[in-house]
Each structure stands twice: as C-alpha cells, then as structure tokens.
Copies of this chain bind each other. A is one copy, B any other.
Amino acid sequence: MLKDGDELKHDLSLTSDASPTESDVIHPSELTEPPATSEAPLPKNAFSVLLSSSKDLSKKRPLPPSSSTDPPDPTKRTHPPNWRGCLLPYLTFPHIYPPTTVLRHTPSFVTIFDAFPKATIHLLLLPRDPTVNTLHPILALNTHPSLLSSSKSEVQILTPLVQKELRRRFGHLSKTQIAHTSSPDTVPERIYPLKIGIHAHPSLTHLHIHIITPDMSSPSLKHNKHYNSFTTPFFIPLEDFPMAEDDYRRKHPGRDEESGEVYLKGDMRCWRCGRNFGNKFKALKEHLEKEKEEWLAE
C-alpha cells in the first residue's frame, strides 16, 4: 500500500511529461464545498462527488453535454451488454466530462471519481496507452516498467490533491491538524493514509488503479465482496510492483479461481481495530461509521 508522504513525493510542477489541459487542475477557487461534519448540501467543486454513488445521494452524476455524437453516460445502463468496457468513454473523451466526474487528464492518464465510491474518497487512475491498458493489471504492471513508473509519478501528483481535499473537509475534526493550525512551525500537517492499488481480478476491462481512503464508509459499499476486495490480499498495493519472481500473486488468482474467491467470501475484519465481523455486514457498516469518526479525529 502506497502511503502519501513516501519518498516519491515531489513537487507538482516537476511531474507531468505534458502540460495538463485547462481543466486538469483543481483551482482553489473551485474548492467551495464547506467543511462538513456530516455531508454538506450541494457541493460544486471537482472533489464534490466523493462520498457515495450519485444514485444513492440523488446527486446525479453529471452527464456529458448532450449531443448525438457524445458517448453515453458510462454510469447509466444504456450500453450493456458491453458493461465491462464502461471505462472506455472516459479514456476516449475525457474532456467532455465535468470536473466532478473527470478530476484530471493528461495525454497518459485520466483520473476519475469512482461512480460507486467505496469510501470517503475513491478515485480511479486510468492509464491511456491502449497497448497495455487492456492487459491483466498484474501482468501489465509487472512487465511494463514505463507503465509502472509513469503510474507512480501520476500518483505523486494526485495524492497531494487528495490530502488537500481531506484536510479541507475534515481537518477541523483532526487533533493533529488542529495542533498544526495552532503551531504550524512545530506540528506538521496531518497526512491521511491512502490505499493505492489494483484488484487481483478486476471486473472492468480497462486498467484502473484505485486511490481510496481506508475508511470503507460509503453508501455504495453494499456487500462483503465490496469490503473484502479492498481489505484482503485481493487488493494489491501499487508499491508491491514489480513483484518478486516467486510472488504467489503473479498467478493473479481471480474471483473465478478458488484462491481469489476465498478472499472475497471470507470473514470481514475491521480495517482499523481488526475485529472479526464474520458475515455480519450490517453490523460492520455500523461499526465503520464509528471508526471513521474516530479516525478523522486522530
């Protein structure tokens, strides 16, 4: 798991091999969503669709500008049976989506807000190179060093944006961040841990790297497989690539195979205190809300 604050961190201006397009950057003026204890009413900035699916909150995922040539909203059930390819429109036409859907795009990457976020912040980093982005992610990241290094570089641009957004929304609840505000010279800013990695057996075709807060507290988290896909070895941190030659995960056990299914169907354990909830999903959800609150207060 790649935590923010690692040694890879460097300045935003040094990162991109091509200038981000106009809508790539989150302007401070866009960050108008007020800090919230619970959820705030209608947010307006690029980090606004963070919690819960648009469907759950009736904050409809903004549609691309309507025109007969536009691709369909990838969220709507309008273009199955090709649902496995539903990330393709973001890769092909990133510019037509509002910043509440596409956070940032460069010639090499598109970063979107997950349409069914499984935690408070949940982004998907999509590599655009069509020669590698439909390979199995374990294979792709193990055998294409340039993909791996450019992905890690892009992550180093994204994590500070996420940190900033978390501090803006929740910093006032954080003991550390409050101490920092009082004594900026002696107390460093809070650094929130992030989980960054892939699923051992993704359902969607196009390579996507999850960037997600660890709280697992979101209305779109609806069953045990959702939870376990981020909290067991089914989740493979980006920092684990390239894998050792004998890493057992190179077999990329998937949900169709015994070893992958075992993770998804196993007992659920709290990410924070380790408590085993067995298959009691509702009880876990309730517990996760409390854990989130305590975690934010750290």
Contacts and interface: CB of A to CB of B under 8 A. Distances in A.
Interface of A: 37-41, 55-58, 60, 219, 282, 285-290
B41 A39 contact: no
A285 B56 CA distance: 8
Nearest to A289: B58
Given A38-B40, A58-B290, 9 more contacts: A38-B38, A38-B41, A39-B39, A55-B282, A56-B285, A57-B289, A58-B288, A58-B289, A60-B286
Contacts of A288: 58
Copies in the complex: 2
Contacts of A39: 38-39
A85 B285 CA distance: 26
B55 A285 contact: yes
A219 B288 CA distance: 17
Contacts of A290: 58
A219 B58 CA distance: 12
Contact of A41 (B37, B41, B56): B37
Contacts of A58: 285-290
